Structures are given as C-alpha cells and as structure tokens.
Structure 1
Amino acid sequence: MNTSRRQFLGRLGLVTAGLGFASSGSLTAGSRAKFSFDISLAEFSFASELFSGKMSNMDFPARAKNEYGITILEYVSGFFNNKHKDPAYLKELKQRCDDLGMRNHLIMVDGENLTALNDTARLKAVEAHYPWVDAAKFLGCTAIRVNLGDAMAMLSGKKEEGTPAELATAAVDGYGKLLEYAGKAGLNVIVENHFGVSTDPDWLVGVMKQLKAPNKGLLPDFGNFCAERSKPETMDIKGFMATKCVKEHDKYEGVKKMMPYARGISAKTHQFDARGNDPETDFIKMFKIIKDSGWNNGIVGIEYEGGLMREMGGDMAKPTNDEGIRKTKALLERVLQELG
C-alpha cells in the first residue's frame, strides 16, 4: 500500500471509528430503585471541527463544560495526534481538566487489529494498546474502549479474513491479553459494536462469555449494528458517508443482548424530527430495554455525528455540531424525566 493511500485509510478510519451508519456503569442492578444515569460527551461529536483544525483535543474539556454544562468526557485516540506518550502533553490536558472540575471517563481507542489471525500481528496490536492504557490511567479515566475487528478491511471494501469462530478465538486471545495488562492498572477495557463481525451482538456476547477478567465489558452503540454497507462510489470520506446499510442487526434486540455486560451506553444520533426525537432510534423504547436490564447509575455518552455528515459529507439537512449536541442532551434529559 502506498503512503498516500495508507494516510487516507487512516484518516477515514478515524472518521468511521465513531460514525454510526455503519461510565462505566454497574453490570447489575443499581442500589437505588430510581432509574438514573449521568450524561457524558463523546469528543467525536466535534469531529468536523477537530479534522479541520478549528478545534484541538486541548479545547475539548472547556467546550464541554462551558457550552453544554457537561463535566464527563469521552476522548478519541486519533485526536491526540500521537501525543498520548508525551508526559508534558498529558500533564497539561489533565491540569486543564482538574482546573475545570472535569471527570475523564474513557478514551475511545481505534488502533491495530486485536483480532488479527496472525499471532505476531495480534501480539503487536495488543502491545500497541498498552500506551493508551497508561495514558488513560494518568488522566484518571476508568476505561479505554477498543474494537474487535479489522476496520481497515472494511474501509478498503474487503471482507475480514477468517470465519466468525476463528475471529472469536483470536479476539479472546488478543482482548484477553489486553485485559490482563489493563487490570494491573485498575482499568476496564470495553468493546463497542463497531465493524464487521463485531456488529453482531451474539458474537460479542460469545466472546465475553469466554473471558473471566473482571474488567471486561461492552459499550452498546445505538448506531453501529450495520453488518454490510453498499460499495462507496468514491474512495473518500464523502463517498463513504453516502453509502447505505444493506444488512443490519436489530438494534433493540442487539442492545438487549449486550446489556448484561454493559459498562456504559453510547447514545448515537444523526438528526431529529420537529419534536426533538431521533427518527432512527426510539429513545424511550431503547431506554426501557436498558432500564429493564437492571443497568443503573452509569454513564450515557452523547455521540452526535450529523455535524460531520453536514460539514464533510455535504448533507446540509443535518444540524450543526452545536445544535446536535444540545438536542441529544435534551432528548436524554427527557428520557430521565419519563423513565426515572
């Protein structure tokens, strides 16, 4: 692969790391009968501004608090610009958070393939995640979020190598090794339904059942159950965002299956109707499923992606980043009023 293509795929990978077309909460019932959760903000909600340079990773804590009154943060690895091993950089970021009274919840890490079938490549991927565990620990996070699957294969229009069973075996090994390292640091490593085989909730649950580590877990994402997309007409970000989902797992059944292992929720949104509801996900229906599972007093992250689709995909019908974050927050607050 030539350098320019590799750079493009890397950037596209960061875009789709959160793109949903495509706190750690208690794993058991909460101690209080009242259904409740805290609201965090996922950095990917500002993706278009971060990609364009209008905003930096250092700006994230202040914007979350000052503009939206949110004090719990979910970072994205790509927006650290490879400075996650720089002590001075991490110290400055942590100081900014401390000064603002922020709570660093997790880092969404989109790294090398933990399910690589090749033993050497898989171990290399595991070790490449170690510095992210260290950075998360320093920042006071409770977890890092990882992927189980080959994102680059999907972005290149290829199928993942291996059968679901072979990939599950590789995942238990690679993810298991990372859990062991993170456990020593007192951190959780949670998996999001995201690419390829990991969009299948039954596959994810099957992997979880094979691991005994107490710091394992899942991060159900409302928008990432698409198992197959149409082929992009152009190999660029705009082309990918124009693709359609042609095969999708049922999101409500998917979240229900994932909830016994959930250590957080990713409330993904792209657009809203005139009443402020998400036309893609019935939030009341979804949160009734979450409530009925016994999950309580955890963290639900706002991950608004319509702004990226607007600014980089040309879909001007989508709200801006600011509008989308505010509407998602209002929707979650309404959920708490109705179900709490």
Structure 2
Amino acid sequence: METRRSFIKKTVLGGAALSAPYIDVFASKSALNSTAPKISLAQWSLNRAFFKGELNAIDFPDIAKNSFGLNAVEYVNAFYKEYGKSEKFWNQLKGKANAAGVKNLLIMVDDEGELGNPNNKERSQAIENHYKWINAAKLLGCHSIRVNAFGQGDKIELKNSLVDGLGRLSDYGAKENINVLIENHGLHTSDGKFMTSIIKEVNNKHLGTLPDFGNWCLNAKWGSTQNDKCTDMYDPYQGVADFLPYAKGVSAKSYNFDANGNETFLDYGRLLKTVKDSGFIGYIGIEYEGERLSEPEGIKATKALIEKVWLNLD
C-alpha cells in the first residue's frame, strides 16, 4: 500500500462546544436538530485505486455519488499535482461535481513544504506553495484546505514559526474566503493543547482544525495509531475534544471491522458521541485506511457504522 508522505504513512475524542464564529460555515441552525449525520467521502479512502490508475481522479465526484451514495467529497492534492495552477481543470472538475449533485468540501494538501520551518526563506516558500491550492479550493467551491503543521526546533521556536507560517497562510485564505485547517498528523501536530494554543495566538477565524479519529501518535510523523503500535500517544478523546471548538470538518478514520460491523481499534460510540455532544454540524468524512477489506467494502462498512452509531446516540 502506498502511503501519504510520498504518499503518507499508514495511519482515535471528550466533548467541547463549538465557538459561535464557526457555526455558519456548515449549515443553518435547523440542521443541528437533524437526526441523520452528514457524511462525506475523503478521496484517500480510494488511494490505492487512484495511484494504480484503476480510477481517474476527475471522476471522484461521480464515484462518491454513484458507488457509495455520498453527496460531498474531500479531495487529496496528490492526485492533482499537475493541475495545481490550472483554472480550466478546476472548473471542469467543479462541473463534474455539480452535474453529479456533489458538494466539494476541501482539498487535503501534502508535500508542499513545512509551514513551521525555522528558516524564514524556506517557510515563506512553503506558504507560497500552498497558495495555488487555496485558489483551486475557491474555484471548486470548497470551504477549506487541510494542511500539515510540521516544522523543526524546540517547542518555543516551533510555535513561533508555526504562528507565523499558519498566520500568513490564513491571511491569504481569508482574502479568498478559504479556511486553513490543521489535522493531527503525528509528532507535535497530535498534541491537541499545543496546536490549539497556536490557533488562539494566530487569532484568525479562517484558521481551524480537521480532527482525525486516528493519527494521535506523538513520536511518529503522520501519527498512525493503527494496530495499537504507537508507544507515545496523545489521548485521542482529549485530542478531538481539544480540536472540536475549531473544527470545520471531522475525519472518521477506520481500519478494520468485527463481525458486528464495529471498528476493532477505534471506539466509534465514544468518538461520535464526543462529536455530536459538541454541537458540530459539519460533515463527517469517511477515511478508510484498512487492508483486510477492499477499499469499497471499507468505505461502505464505515458509512454503515457512522449511521448506526449516530442514530443511537442520546
């Protein structure tokens, strides 16, 4: 299986109330009372098929709708590298999504440099490298891009660099009305309190989070907690609780399932209760990353589990 650095290594939530500035991003107040969860599909769930060329990336909206009955999608920039600056391509992809009745939510951005690089020149280059994806997100009608908040140095130096890098990128995003979302992706990015302290210091409503059910490993880049092999893990329930007040999406990571359709490593009941109790009204994105089931089977199993658990929560 290819992975998400080049392409990312294989990759679990306590409650919190959403702050008012973030509510309007997702839906009207009436949606808060809806009994059914809003579910989207993260493109990474089909990464093997896309990397092998078995699926065409421009067909992703149709695949989400026709194969899985999902009407919202989250793109991964790795499948569109050659089109980063192509306005024609993004308009074409938006047309495909519109024709399928699919909502474009965000683009997950990897391999564009460290936004917390201590070297000013290299950090500035990383910031500029992300501009094209903000532009693409705007053309697609997305609300956000997801970034990696990696960097170097001790906690003080790292924080200063990230405040600058994420702050400047968020300023650019604000001009285009596109949010910049931090995902827990290992090392310090999986330290919920550290990352939210950066968000507070930046103090830009366009800087938020995309909490992932997995990826809470503090001593491994990308933070995979699959198979319980992490030796230093931030408490996942605390981590999601830390991130939820700033969340503009939630990534429902899944790996494997038992005979009853429950995730074997992640407590979906506890995770989704944390999300629901927080008042979150955005989309919950399926991100299947397992190997026992095929990608389509894993997506369907995750969708069924989210729906079953959500409807049985208090």
Unaligned segments of structure 1, at least 5 residues:
1-9, 151-160, 231-240, 311-317
Q: Which residue of 2 aligns with 1:123?
A: 124
Task: Report the Cα offset of residue 12 of structure 1.
Answer: 5.5
Task: Report the Cα offset of residue 35 of structure 1.
Answer: 5.8
Matched, 1:251 2:236: yes
Which 4+ stretches in 1 moved above 2 angstroms?
25-37, 241-244, 291-295
Q: Which residue of 1 aligns with 2:294?
A: 320
Identical pairs, percent: 38
CA contact (8 A) 1:201 1:257 kept: yes
Q: Which residue of 1 aligns with 2:219?
A: 228
Q: What is the TM-score of this pair, normalised by structure 1?
A: 0.82
Q: What is the TM-score of this pair, normalised by structure 2?
A: 0.88
CA RMSD of aligned residues (A): 2.3
Structure 1: distance between partners of 2:34 and 2:228: 37
- Say if 1:140 and 1:338 are closer, same or farther in 2 by CA, change over 3 A: same
CA contact (8 A) 2:115 2:149 kept: yes
Q: 1:170 aligns with which of 161, 165, 175?
A: 161
Give deviations 1:140-190, integer Å, cap 9, x for gaps. 10100111015xxxxxxxxxx301221111111000001000101111111
CA contact (8 A) 1:273 1:279 kept: yes
Q: Which stretch shows the higher mean deviation, 207-216 or 66-75? A: 207-216
Report the number of matched residues.
296
SS at match of 1:273: coil
1:1-340 superposed matches below 5 A: 13-16=5-8, 19-20=10-11, 27-28=19-20, 31-32=29-30, 34=33, 37-110=37-110, 111-150=112-151, 161-229=152-220, 244-295=229-280, 297-306=281-290, 310=291, 318-339=292-313
SS at match of 1:301: strand
SS at match of 1:217: strand
CA contact (8 A) 2:18 2:244 kept: no
- Say if 1:109 and 1:27 are closer, same or farther in 2 by CA, change over 3 A: farther
Structure 1: distance between partners of 2:97 and 2:34: 28
Task: Report the Cα offset of residue 92 of structure 1.
Answer: 1.8
- Say if 1:192 and 1:58 are closer, same or farther in 2 by CA, change over 3 A: same
Task: Report the Cα offset of residue 26 of structure 1.
Answer: 6.0
Give deviations 1:64-123, integer Å, cap 9, x for gaps. 000111010100011103212112222221111111111100000112110000011001
Task: Report the Cα offset of residue 216 of structure 1.
Answer: 1.3
CA contact (8 A) 1:187 1:215 kept: yes
* Counterpart residue type for residue 232 of structure 2: K
Task: Report the Cα offset of residue 287 of structure 1.
Answer: 1.6
* Counterpart residue type for residue 39 of structure 1: I
Give deviations 1:257-297, integer Å, cap 9, x for gaps. 211111111000011111101121111111222222232x2
Q: Which residue of 2 aligns with 1:4?
A: none
SS at match of 1:268: strand
Structure 1: distance between partners of 2:253 and 2:80: 22
* Counterpart residue type for residue 236 of structure 2: K
SS at match of 1:190: strand
Task: Report the Cα offset of residue 242 of structure 1.
Answer: 9.3
CA contact (8 A) 1:56 1:79 kept: no
Structure 1: distance between partners of 2:297 and 2:101: 24
- Say if 1:216 and 1:58 are closer, same or farther in 2 by CA, change over 3 A: same
Structure 2: distance between partners of 1:56 and 1:166: 42
CA contact (8 A) 1:35 1:291 kept: no
Q: Which residue of 2 aligns with 1:237?
A: none
